[in-house]
Chains A and B, each alone.
Chain A
Amino acid sequence: MKQEALENIQPLSKDDFISDQMVKWCPGCGDHAILAAVSKVFPKLGKRKEDFCVISGIGCSSRFPYYVNTYGIHGIHGRALPIASGVKIANPNLSVWVTTGDGDAMAIGGNHFIHTMRRNLDINIVLFNNRIYGLTKGQYSPTTPMGDVTKTSPQGTIERPFNPGELVMGAQGTFFARGIDTNPKMMTELMLEAGNHKGTSLVEILQNCVIYNNGAHRMITAKDTKDDYQLHLKQGEPMIFGKEGNKGIRLNGIDLEVVTIGENGITENDLLVHNAHNANPSLHLMLARMMPPEFPVALGVIRAVKEGVYESLLEKQIEQAQDQSGMKSVDDLLFSGNTWDI
């Protein structure tokens, strides 16, 4: 958008994005908090309200577009990402957001997920990970922990779960952050960073399904255990966590380990310092993989690196083609090359 046009825009507020539709998520669902966070972030992104487009697939999370007053598409199961890609390529000026769930993005939409990551279009994905199929009432999902009993795994699942962060790194994703629905302030910060990141951003929200998987993230959300199982990553700062603030993450050989500051001569200097901008994803992958009870869960911006953005590269090719081609209209094409008159 042109600068002068931007200056004429009235500052927007959260209310500009509240739609007139009744929100039909269950009371107590983590989705309400995510909706509140997104509505807070949109006004801060320097766009007109007409320039937002929210796209989803199918699932509880995917009702989201009806609840924000922007342009939007409630698509079909698993396909939010290619729909969003089409929107963004057709109009790169739009701020495109995708809301999706662990089933929508990791199972039926798994193929689109990895390819969207490697293309690096400037779109923002909010992944509501409740580790269960909620809308279809309680079957296990690709992120359900091994052994969990669900409606379709009465003896416990026998599938190893996906960790979305691992897929992001494996598919050369440029932005991965993880938040939790019980911490609205952090969610808002992460989404703002995601919105400002040039390239595909994935914000995974560990979200609680009160009906079908209540307490899925209990260990990291319960008052008595959360400090020991949440590591809040901050750029340039050592990785410290724990109730007493005395635990840290250290690299031991090629593995991470939890250490206690003050024990065995460990000081803050021995801990890893977070650098989300490191092009090498190895450490980001290890951080994303950390799981209780051995490790805390890493929250915050885990990876944020600069890479070529698909639609910018495309625009460049278009400009180049327009500069180099003598063809100004389709008539020029029709009459080009080998033609003859009769």
Chain B
Amino acid sequence: MSEKNKNVVEKEDVVVRFAGDSGDGMQLTGSLFSDSTAVEGFDFATFPDYPAEIRAPQGTIAGVSGFQVHFGHKDIYTSGDYADVLVAMNPASLRSNLKWTKTGGTIILDRDAFTEKGLKKAGYHSNPLEDGSLDDYKVIDPPITTLTKEAVKDLNVDHKMAQKSKNMFALGMLFYLFHRDFKSTFDFFEEKFKKNPLVVDMNKRVLKAGYSYADSVEAMRSTISVPPADLKKGTYRNITGNVATAWGFLAAAEKAGRELFLGSYPITPASEILQELSKHKQFNARVFQAEDEIAGITSTIGASYAGALGITTTSGPGLSLKSEAIGLAVMTELPIVIVDVQRGGPSTGLPTKSEQSDLLQALFGRNGECPTIVIASQSPVDCFYAAYEASKLSVEHMTPTLLLTDGSIANGSEVFRIPKVKEMDSIDAPIAEPNDEDFKPYKRDEKTLSRQWAIPGTEGLRHRVGGLEKENISGNVSHDPKNHQLMIELRQDKVDRVADYLPEQKVVGKESGDILVVSWGGTFGVVREAVKEIQEEGKSVSMAHFRYINPLPKNTGEILSKFKKIVVCEINKGQFMNYLKMNFPQYDYDLYYKIQGLPFLVSELKDKFNEVIEKLDQ
């Protein structure tokens, strides 16, 4: 750190937003910044915000790709509402992201990009660098493109290639601003470009050039210092929700002593799970990229019948296609896990934006009486545990299980305190013994009602399963009226009894009071933050966040009964609220929803809670 820099501003937490053209490498810049954040011992959360097109027209608002990082000394639950620092690589990214920047915040711009042409493409009628519209912000606008070229001029790289690394110049400036070390980033360059030392050298130089520039200009008069977070002892890493999901399944397969089978078809935003598991054949993960969504799940059912831990991954449109096959898994009482990384719907909807609108599809979107276990992950890291738990419940109860995540937690990342698989709960598959004379395909465990898993190749257990209704115990095809009703009741009862194996629903805050805020799935972080802040203001607000959707935890009704008003917050039009109403119609519900392809803001949630409090007080 330079001697001349004496102004250090201390902050508890900081939000940095990177924005640029979708070809500018903003996702990478954001990830590299998060990696350096991680190494410094902060708690943090990230949120990528990118367009559906791979390369939308350059320089336009449609082509802007963003990545937000929130880090700090305190517990970080969200990727942050508004940015303290915005990096905008062109006019379009400034125009579309200024509204996410705090008044008085720092904006880093590439002056070279603010040409007449660039401004016009972004829809500016005057140059914001000159018309005073940025007067409320601290603007730092070096000619980044020019300085980048300058930095690498004696290297043998062409203009186009040099220009590609201008994002590293901006990153270098941030490293200066936040007192960061180059090491993790240099390590990344060396690993990523190990076959091309020239590119390693180029990126290092540009990063350093950005850092030196920031150190030398008056514009960067002060830097920002955030004390490291008070994290529990342990080994940590950074992880995204999709990778965590994939790893959770690997851990579950190992623990259950089953080989892992994934049958899946690429779909945004779930494809990374398929890609990640494809890399892990060393754990005997058998990954089958199917010809379509239906082949994805039906191959999974086949693999599960053959004794593998069967997983299929998709997003909303794919879940629709899998409906009939989920029915087959319910009927054959085989364990499979279906992951739905939810995105904006209906139809193709908003593929790269997040939503929670598949809940009712997950619960009820099938023909016939067709219950499955449904659980919802609450954060990127929780995807690891939720995938593990979904596998455990599915296998131990011989019931297909739906795991709901969503685009924001799937692509978002968090600090992950690494657990030891050895120390995780056991997974005990009810595997039938060879030559068991009492074996019957649909004989049930007294407690769980699950049937046994009789795996092909095992002596003395030959049997057939299928989509036609089966006689209980014997497993023969049966059209007997009473048997059909019995089987429907048994399949429901089997799922209901899973509640006996779930932890009780917890309440954050007082166990009774005026308002209970209810959330589920991926909105945990932001709702938790809003509730925390409002509790700190001394208001009677508690929170219950649901991970177990079907069955609901056994004490759900009891918890709901202790509050005057239940405010359900969700990124849909009230699906979970209606589900609670269906189960517990006697309570007073209110809904806060938003479906804009964007996460909740802490501020808007607090506004809603305050409004409900005021109404109650009247």
Please say whether chains A and B are actual partners in one complex: yes
Q: Interface of A with B (CB < 8 Å)?
A: 19, 21, 48-51, 53, 55, 58, 65-66, 69-76, 79, 81-91, 93-94, 111-112, 115, 314, 317-318, 320-322, 324-325, 327, 329-331, 333-335, 337-342
A112 touches B291 (CB 8 A): yes
User: Which residue in B280, B303, B328 is a CB contact (below 8 Å) of A90?
Assistant: B303
B298 touches A82 (CB 8 A): yes
Is B39's beta carbon under 8 Å from chain A?
Answer: yes
Q: Which range holds the interface residue count of chain B?
A: 35 or more
Residues in A whose Cβ lies below 8 Å from that of B462: 49-50, 69-71
Residues in B whose Cβ lies below 8 Å from that of A84: 302
Residues in A whose Cβ lies below 8 Å from that of B304: 86, 90
Cα–Cα distance between A79 and B38 once the two chains are bound (Å): 46
Is B142's beta carbon under 8 Å from chain A?
Answer: no
Residues in A whose Cβ lies below 8 Å from that of B294: 79, 82
B418 touches A90 (CB 8 A): no
Residues in A whose Cβ lies below 8 Å from that of B250: 330, 333
B418 touches A335 (CB 8 A): yes
Residues in A whose Cβ lies below 8 Å from that of B231: 342
Q: A73-B464, A82-B294, A90-B308 are in contact. Are A338 and B238 (CB under 8 A)?
A: yes
Is B184's beta carbon under 8 Å from chain A?
Answer: yes
Q: Which A residue's beta carbon lies closest to that of B420?
A: A331
Q: B300-313: contact bitstring with A at CB < 8 Å (1 yes, 0 no)?
A: 11111111101000
Cα–Cα distance between A320 and B284 once the two chains are bound (Å): 11
User: Which residue in B236, B298, B301 is a CB contact (below 8 Å) of A341?
Assistant: B236
Residues in A whose Cβ lies below 8 Å from that of B259: 90
User: Which residue in A58, A74, A89 is a CB contact (below 8 Å) of B288?
Assistant: A89
- B309-356 at interface with A (beta carbon < 8 Å): 310, 324-325, 327-328, 332
Is B500's beta carbon under 8 Å from chain A?
Answer: no
A339 touches B418 (CB 8 A): yes
A72 touches B39 (CB 8 A): no
B418 touches A334 (CB 8 A): yes
A50 touches B463 (CB 8 A): no
User: Which residue in A21, A321, A342 is a CB contact (below 8 Å) of B232?
Assistant: A342
Top 8 closest A-B pairs, CB basis?
A86-B302, A74-B466, A86-B299, A325-B282, A321-B281, A82-B295, A90-B306, A86-B303
Q: A69-B462, A334-B418 are in contact. Are A342 and B234 (CB under 8 A)?
A: yes
Total contacts A-B at CB 8 Å: 203
B301 touches A83 (CB 8 A): yes
Residues in B whose Cβ lies below 8 Å from that of A82: 263, 290-291, 294-296, 298-299, 302
CB distance from B417 to the nearest CB of A (A): 8
Stretch from B92-100, B113-121, B452-460, B533-541 at the A interface = B452-460
Q: A90-B302, A93-B457 are in contact. Are A340 and B235 (CB under 8 A)?
A: yes
A21 touches B39 (CB 8 A): no
CB distance from B333 to the nearest CB of A (A): 12
B300 touches A86 (CB 8 A): yes
Give 11 A-B pairs besides A71-B464, A86-B288, A330-B247 with Cβ atoms closer than 8 angstroms.
A66-B466, A83-B305, A87-B303, A90-B259, A90-B307, A329-B421, A333-B247, A334-B251, A339-B236, A340-B39, A341-B235
Cα–Cα distance between A305 and B291 once the two chains are bound (Å): 24
Of the listed residues B261, B460, B462, the one surrounded by the most CB atoms of chain A closer than 10 A to its CB is B462
Q: B465-483: contact bitstring with A at CB < 8 Å (1 yes, 0 no)?
A: 1111000000011000000
A87 touches B302 (CB 8 A): yes
Q: B225-238: contact bitstring with A at CB < 8 Å (1 yes, 0 no)?
A: 00000011111111
CB distance from A66 to the nearest CB of B (A): 6
Cα–Cα distance between A69 and B462 once the two chains are bound (Å): 7
Cα–Cα distance between A325 and B282 once the two chains are bound (Å): 6
Residues in B whose Cβ lies below 8 Å from that of A75: 298, 301, 328, 466-467
A74 touches B468 (CB 8 A): yes
Q: Which B residue's beta carbon lies closest to that of A16?
A: B462
Residues in A whose Cβ lies below 8 Å from that of B305: 53, 71, 73, 83, 86-87
User: Which residue in A81, A86, A93 is a CB contact (below 8 Å) of B310?
Assistant: A86
CB distance from A304 to the nearest CB of B (A): 24
Residues in B whose Cβ lies below 8 Å from that of A70: 462
Cα–Cα distance between A84 and B263 once the two chains are bound (Å): 12
Is B584's beta carbon under 8 Å from chain A?
Answer: no
